[in-house]
Amino acid sequence: MLQLVNVGHKSLADYATIASRGLMEDIRRLASPLEGSRVLHLSATAFGGGVAEINYTLVPLMQDVGLDTEWRIIHGQDEFFDVTKRIHNALQGRPEGLTPEHEDTYHRYNRMNADEFEDDFDFVVVHDPQPAALPEYLGASRARWIWRCHIDLSEPFRPVLDFLAPALSRYEAAIFHMPAYVPDIANLPPAYIWPPAIDPLTPKNMALSPEDAAYIVDQFGIDVDRPLLTQVSRFDPWKDPLGVIDAYREVKRTHSDVQLALVGSMAHDDPEGWEFYNQTVTYAAGDPDIFILSNLNNVGSVEVNAFQVHSNAVLQKSIREGFGLTVTEALWKGRPTVGGHVGGIPAQIVNGESGWLVDSPTECAEACREILDEPQAARQRGLRGKETVRRHYLTPRLLRDWLALFNRLAGNDVGETQLVVATAA
């Protein structure tokens, strides 16, 4: 069998003081006709990245409202994840194709995982490209299959998109963060649009006092009495940590006491991570005010929280970005936030009102200088960003969207709950 992830327990009632009463009532109304339905989430890894973080909250909340929900991980070796990382990069625009050997590896592992699949679910949610071809090897299935895409498909490398297209045609629904991500391919199922969300009650996002944050950050050698810029992300070229270092170096010319923390995680399904981590370390050139940290330095959820809370500015200078949950996290903490003008980041930040949107290291440096020079005005932008997150990007809203889709696919008449559909089959 595919590996089962232990997600623990969560209670929807714990969110009653954060979510609106109307949203909580909507969730209960939508959950009622689905009680006992069997739901499976399939993904490539149980740690590292936004998909895993979302599922550790979404799955137990689905259980709490009455759905029999599991999360399982597909099997894969380095040769498979090398190919799926190549697919990921190509779908986000890198012009690199697949050889026949790559294609064979991808399908061989999907076939192998299909052999391990037990077809006794009502709904199967497949996350991202890694397990996307499983339905091709199952024949008739009793489940309603849904593909959840977490990456930016606005400018894909066409040959790789065309390779994946036959697999996607076998789903009953596909979900994307934004309308611009819906690919132009034949036989795509109805495409639903909704953004991801963060859990405000996890250790990564719970309230943390400035004093506790400073104490934690101090353990990693940060001088807590000097200004700190932080980017939290995987070590990935799309996150542009080298561009962040360039921006920091520009800021350093006028604010000599500034420090930079690049805080990441090494994920099981990201074989490029080590290579780019090493490139980042080399690019930092031994600067004692640049701190490059990861889960291998015992940086976990609480530590990430502390770095975000303590930072004068939180950066996410991506050049491609599916949505950018690290931006959501920083805004939720009321921090002045600088994001790349790409992907889902502009959906979260109104430039000049709730944060800063930038297109280059120089613009990023200018934003950071403004934050350091005008901290009170920067703080007001951060607080406006926090309210945006409270209204749109917290987990109860995400749960509501999933329940609405399950009901629609099951043909349940539960009244009107808006779902944005970008295209029809």
193-232 pLDDT per residue, tens: 999 999 999 999 999 999 999 999 999 999 999 999 999 9
Q: Check whether residue 96 and residue 164 sit in a common domain.
A: yes
In 3-state terms the chain splits into helix, strand, coil percentages (rounded to 5) of 45, 15, 40
Q: Which domain holds residue 375?
A: 210-392
Q: Is residue 204 included in any domain, yes or no? A: no
* CATH number of domain containing 337: 3.40.50.2000
Q: Is residue 205 included in any domain, yes or no? A: no
pTM, 2 dp: 0.90
Q: Check whether residue 65 and residue 146 sit in a common domain.
A: yes
Strand order in the sheet with 290-293: 290-293, 259-263, 228-232, 313-316, 337-340, 356-358
Q: Check whether residue 140 and residue 215 sit in a common domain.
A: no
Q: Check whether residue 10 and residue 131 sit in a common domain.
A: yes
Q: Check whether residue 55 and residue 189 sit in a common domain.
A: yes
CB 149 within 8 A of CB 170: no
Q: Check whether residue 110 and residue 237 sit in a common domain.
A: no
Q: Check whether residue 16 and residue 72 sit in a common domain.
A: yes
Domain total of the chain: 2
Q: Which pair of tokens denotes residue 211?
A: 């004093």
Lowest mean pLDDT among 137-141, 243-247, 252-256, 398-402: 137-141
Q: Is residue 203 included in any domain, yes or no? A: no
- CA 253 to each of CA 62, 241, 246, 258: distance values in angstroms, whole numbers, following the listed order: 51, 19, 11, 10
Q: Is residue 202 included in any domain, yes or no? A: no
Q: Is residue 124 included in any domain, yes or no? A: yes
Q: Check whether residue 120 and residue 241 sit in a common domain.
A: no
Residue 71 dihedral angles phi and psi, to the nearest 5°: -130, 125
DSSP 257: T
pLDDT at 424: 42
Q: Check whether residue 269 and residue 413 sit in a common domain.
A: no
Question: pLDDT tens-digit profile of 135-163?
Answer: 999 978 889 999 999 999 999 999 999 99
